[in-house]
Structure 1
Amino acid sequence: MLALKETEVERLKADIGTLRKGTLTPELLQNSAMPQMFAYSTGFTYERFNHLCTIFGIPNDPCATQINVPLKYQRNDWQVVEMPLRSQLLFVLMKLRNNEDLKNLAFRFSITVQSASNLFNSWIHYMLDVLGAIPIWPHRDVIMENMPDTYKTDPSTFAILDCTELKMERPTSLVLQSQSYSSYKSTNTLKSLVACDPRGAVIFSSALFTGSMSDKEIVRESGLIPLPEKQIEIGYLQKGDGLMADKGFLIEDDIKSVGLQLNLPPFARSKRQMPSGDVLTTKRIAKHRVHVERAIAKIKKFKMVSDRIPNTRLGNISQIWYVVSVFSNFQPHILKQ
């Protein structure tokens, strides 16, 4: 009976192998007759995809399998183990970019739905380990050297802050329903704090918090405050350097406590018309703050975080959010020098 089962498994493997002769590969997608199909499916050019392969330790070999990268699956899944690593990365990028249904992706890559789920979750953990080890806050000299001319009216401001919300399914827990309800969006959400440099590159992306939390609470819980303090210690920032935010960020005392300045739009002092100097300052800051909004919009082009997040995805959505935040830096900058 055992021998019969082994025979059936070998026959199934052979059938899968036959199917994989026509399965989706990076090269097949790149050579598609449809223009820009690779970029549409993944968010990256084929050349940038190869660069990502290098970052994640994938050899330039279409047949390289899981043995080359320390991926951990929920079980000994031979379908995934035997799947070429370049195809695995392609699978994950397609899921992140267009949030394709796992059943559809499983069919296109000739694996089961369970294997597809194992593959995706394992890669998210691995990507977080690799990308989390890459420092994304540049030295102030690097920021100044690449600062766009339009930003040089605020040469000592090295980061722009903003919070963003991701819509989620209504939780079954009444407590979580209350905690995640956003009065601003009138629905249940998750919130993250994002900081970008003057070019619009993401240099900080927090974990996701419940939608009822204020911006001030998120700043304090996100770990942002100790980060600039550490950057000052290692020379990446200097005391007196500035961060920019909207006037809803009531964190000026927190920022000053680490030796930095917080540049906010002026508050209206009375019901009278705002002084002309304050109007110009407000316009200047608004012109720069739009870059962090554009940076967030670039992250949300990965539909897995812009579509409404199901409750079944809450276990690793913070990891997914960080991964796509860093991935946005591998795409063209919002502003050039």
Structure 2
Amino acid sequence: MNTNTYQRYKDPKTCFIPTCSKTDLKNPDLKFFTVRKELKERWCQMVGRKCPSRALFCCEDHLNFEEDLENYGQWISGAKPRLKINATLKNFSKKPLTAINMNMEDRPSTSSAAGMQVSHSIDSAIQCDKRIGVSNKYVMAQAKTQTRATQFRGRKIKERVIPSRMMQLPNTEESPNQSPSLFGTSNFDSSSSAQQEHIEKRGREHLLKIIANKPKLFLGLPKSFWWIINFIAQECSCLAFHIILTFFKLKNNDSFARMSEEFQMARSTIRLVFEKNVVVLSTYFQNCIYLPPLTEIKKKLPLAFKIRYSNVQCIIDCFEIQIEKPSDPEKQAQTWSQYKSCNTIKYLIGCTPAGYISFISQGYGGRTSDKAITEWSGFVDVLPLNAVIMADRGFKEIESLLSTKNGKLLRPPSVFANQKMLKKDVIKTKVIASLRVHVERVIRRIREFHMLKPHSVVNNKHIKYLDDLVIIACGLSNLQNPIIKDV
């Protein structure tokens, strides 16, 4: 057997079993093994002693190397031994707790104060035993107040008599379902498990109550439309709590690990709930995004449009959302945005002059031009005949697409490098820019959902759900108050 020695602790290693007095100083040939944290409490209860917070050691007389060491082969070769979590003690006799070994540790202390406390406690306990007639069979008659590490002379301390009620021994056979805690002994049985579940349920209910009081802050849903959660749950055969989880993730973009602590659920469960309900909610909120008839648009037309541009039906623009850099070089090139200088997904959005979202396209790579998205997204197909569209300068090439439905494009006049703009063009540019800003306000409202922020860096696993998330955000935005109050 390997006889390699390990680095010695400052204090000698002593077998933690009260009836075994072997140490590595008296018995240098014996092997001492560190007791695992998982075994300390159970073994101390078996041998009848208090479980201290310091490290404990067990000599080889109470162990079987081949059965109790999980790295027996490596230990023979010189590795540090490690006990199995199900190791068992052998060749020991249980010693009942007394008033002395219940309040002190059997390990000699290296501090002078601890040495004087041990001596004083033993002398007082012996006198008390004689006074009240308690057998001192297990009381230590002699105690070392000086060791090789503690060469000192303790000062005299006035002795105190231990009251008889302190000599009453507690029941040493503690229940296996009890363990010490900061608030006394706690029972880890079926009742405590049920109590823990009850506490978690109350915490979840408290959080849901806070969300219900301010749903727009936590979910992006106006309080007047809180009823829609139960309505969707009945129509789509899903749980209202799962819908709240999905809205919460979209609005706050908390990690699944953080949400598991907030809602007292497993992280994997929250992820599955989110991925499942995103598709369901997208199908429902798709019905909230449509282009109203021209008569309805004119009824809610803002005052700024009534003067010159009362026939405008839709204002369009594009916005981008940053994603993680794809591992595929081809996808990196397709999603690279020269404008944002990062990998993005690009969307075309259209709204009425009053700010109602009437169109949202699918996601395209960041390098896709505005004209290509307008053509591929099917935006022209949803427009009625003779529609008037307002856009930025970047959409000047879509006039040919609108001509198929006899549509008209309102945009600021083009700017040339060597040509000065006319006064009327400058005025027209300012007027259109002041009216087109409403679509920017709509996009800003969508950005309030933190998963859709410009630099939210959407995880590659969630890119396939990004179109559904944008549809849900647009539907929730349409349920909020109009962006323009004077309609």
Which bin holds the TM-score, normalised by the shorter protein? 0.7 to 0.9
Within the alignment, does 1:284 sit opposite 2:431 as a pair?
yes
Q: Aligned partners of 1:181 and 1:318: how far apart in 2?
A: 18
| Structure 1 residue 31, shift from structure 2 partner | 7.4
With over 3 angstroms needed to count, the CA separation of the structure-2 counterparts of 1:135 and 1:303, relative to structure 1, is closer
Q: Equivalent residue of 2:226, what SS? A: helix
Q: Aligned partners of 2:312 and 2:378: how far apart in 1?
A: 20
User: Which residue in the other structure is 1:263 paired with?
Assistant: 410
Q: Equivalent residue of 2:419, what SS? A: coil
Task: Judge conservation of contact 2:221–2:476 (CA < 8 Å) in 1.
Answer: no
Q: Aligned partners of 2:371 and 2:351: how far apart in 1?
A: 18
| Structure 1 residue 128, shift from structure 2 partner | 1.2
Within the alignment, does 1:43 sit opposite 2:220 as a pair?
yes
Within the alignment, does 1:326 sit opposite 2:480 as a pair?
no
Normalized against structure 1, the TM-score is what?
0.80
Within the alignment, does 1:311 sit opposite 2:467 as a pair?
no
1:226-268 deviation per Cα after TM superposition (whole angstroms, max 9, x unaligned):
111xxx3xxxxxx333001111111001011112111111113
Alignment of 1:149-168 (within 5 A): 149-152=303-306, 153-168=308-323
The residue type equivalent to 1:256 in the other structure is: S
The residue type equivalent to 1:29 in the other structure is: I
| Structure 1 residue 159, shift from structure 2 partner | 0.3
User: Which residue in the other structure is 2:393 paired with?
Assistant: 247
The residue type equivalent to 1:177 in the other structure is: Q
| Structure 1 residue 171, shift from structure 2 partner | 0.7
Q: Equivalent residue of 1:314, what SS? A: helix
With over 3 angstroms needed to count, the CA separation of the structure-2 counterparts of 1:28 and 1:135, relative to structure 1, is closer
Runs (5+) with no aligned partner, structure 1: 1-10, 59-67, 72-84, 233-238
The residue type equivalent to 2:484 in the other structure is: L
Task: Judge conservation of contact 2:222–2:479 (CA < 8 Å) in 1.
Answer: no
Runs (5+) with no aligned partner, structure 2: 1-191
| Structure 1 residue 26, shift from structure 2 partner | 7.0
| Structure 1 residue 330, shift from structure 2 partner | 1.1
User: Which residue in the other structure is 2:229 paired with?
Assistant: 53
Q: Equivalent residue of 1:133, what SS? A: helix
Task: Judge conservation of contact 2:316–2:350 (CA < 8 Å) in 1.
Answer: yes
The residue type equivalent to 1:23 in the other structure is: R
Alignment of 1:205-220 (within 5 A): 205-220=360-375
User: Which residue in the other structure is 2:339 paired with?
Assistant: 184
Task: Judge conservation of contact 1:26–1:90 (CA < 8 Å) in 2.
Answer: no
User: Which residue in the other structure is 2:301 paired with?
Assistant: 147
1:194-223 deviation per Cα after TM superposition (whole angstroms, max 9, x unaligned):
001001121101111000111111111111
With over 3 angstroms needed to count, the CA separation of the structure-2 counterparts of 1:312 and 1:266, relative to structure 1, is same
Q: Aligned partners of 1:275 and 1:48: how far apart in 2?
A: 50
Q: Which runs of 4+ in 1 moved over 3 A?
A: 11-18, 24-27
Aligned residues: 293
Within the alignment, does 1:115 sit opposite 2:275 as a pair?
no
Q: Aligned partners of 2:293 and 2:215: how far apart in 1?
A: 33
Higher relative contact order (CA 8 A, sep 6+): 1
Q: Equivalent residue of 2:464, what SS? A: coil
Q: Aligned partners of 2:288 and 2:217: how far apart in 1?
A: 26
Q: Equivalent residue of 1:111, what SS? A: coil
Task: Judge conservation of contact 2:305–2:435 (CA < 8 Å) in 1.
Answer: yes
With over 3 angstroms needed to count, the CA separation of the structure-2 counterparts of 1:269 and 1:186, relative to structure 1, is closer
User: Which residue in the other structure is 2:278 paired with?
Assistant: 124
Task: Judge conservation of contact 2:230–2:240 (CA < 8 Å) in 1.
Answer: no
Task: Judge conservation of contact 1:162–1:245 (CA < 8 Å) in 2.
Answer: yes
Task: Judge conservation of contact 2:220–2:476 (CA < 8 Å) in 1.
Answer: no
1:147-189 deviation per Cα after TM superposition (whole angstroms, max 9, x unaligned):
0101212011110010111111111111111111111111111
Pick which of 127-136 and 314-323 moved more.
127-136
The residue type equivalent to 1:108 in the other structure is: E
Task: Judge conservation of contact 2:319–2:443 (CA < 8 Å) in 1.
Answer: yes
Higher helix proportion, which one?
1
Fraction of identical pairs, as percent: 25
With over 3 angstroms needed to count, the CA separation of the structure-2 counterparts of 1:12 and 1:142, relative to structure 1, is farther
User: Which residue in the other structure is 2:63 paired with?
Assistant: none
User: Which residue in the other structure is 1:70 paired with?
Assistant: 237
Taking only aligned residues, the RMSD between alpha carbons, in angstroms, comes to 2.4
Q: Larger C-alpha radius of gyration, 1 or 2? A: 2
